[in-house]
Amino acid sequence: MKNTFKQFAPAKINLYLHITGRRDNGYHELDSLVVFAEIGDMLRVEPSSTLSLEVTGPFARDISVDHDNLVLRAAKWLLDKLGNPVGLGAAMHLEKNLPVSSGLGGGSADAAATIKTLACLWGGPLAQTDTSSLALGLGADVPVCMAGVPAVMRGIGEVLLPIDKVPALSAVLVNPGISVSTPAVFKERDNVFSGFFNIGDPAGDAIALISALRKSRNHLTKSAMLLAPEISATLSAISATSDCLLVRMSGSGATCFGLYGSNEAAACAARELRANRPDWWVESTVFQGNA
């Protein structure tokens, strides 16, 4: 029987996202509190003499299985770290449950899951300290997705500051059925930068954390809305649901989220949003904490 390894690739959420500067090479420096949802993609790998990828799931049609696919790029990155041994491969199967190019870090989460599963399959190193290489080679969100715990992400994504006592948050994720190009969003934004945001000590209190988050924002929202006006309608629709405590866009969009005081309130809001906009992707979930 073949050894099969599975790895969950959760949606990445930017509770806030500030742009603090831009390097000479054009890369933007970030300051963001990142958490992970209880929903995401699933990767399964089995031994093989060649490298292959099959994609299924609700958003499989939006994924290109070519040289630019992040799962394949991550696999080749790890192969390179191992010295590219002849005959070492894997049959990979990705269940794509998250919208593509949606601000949820799905591709980065899939890349992180690939490195983790193939390291188990091949017996190779995870190289978790090589975050600069990951951020530059595969994407800014890959290091934090490798860590998989609440953290403040800075630099170009390679600097991670773990945060203790982050409470679980009841939430709704909403995507209006569109994808947004991250490079285009960054290109559209102005060149105004901010300092680091001090989130303080979450202390396991969801209401206190949400109150602190109101003093922050997502600096990419304005430019994303210029490219995709549907984001404004999405934020407004979430704000209009009962008991919504905070509404915000995640990453570079177009997925937005609402935070609620309980799982029941989030589930109720999700039902309301689905009824009003059956063409949108709407999921109630929990943003995992570590309190």
Give catalytic residue positions.
12, 141
Report which of 141, 136, 92, 143 is spatially closest to residue 118, judged by C-alpha positions: 92
Instruction: State the DSSP string of 42-59.
Output: EEEEEEESSEEEEEESTT
Please tell me the distance from the alpha carbon of residue 5 to that of residue 7, in angstroms, as a whole number.
7
Distances (CA, A) of 189 to 135, 136, 185, 236: 21, 21, 6, 21
Distance between alpha carbon 279 and the CA centroid of its chain, in Å?
22
Please tell me the distance from the alpha carbon of residue 38 to that of residue 94, in angstroms, as a whole number.
17
Please tell me the distance from the alpha carbon of residue 243 to that of residue 10, in angstroms, as a whole number.
25
Whether omega for the bond prior to residue 212 falls within 30 degrees of 0, making it cis, is no
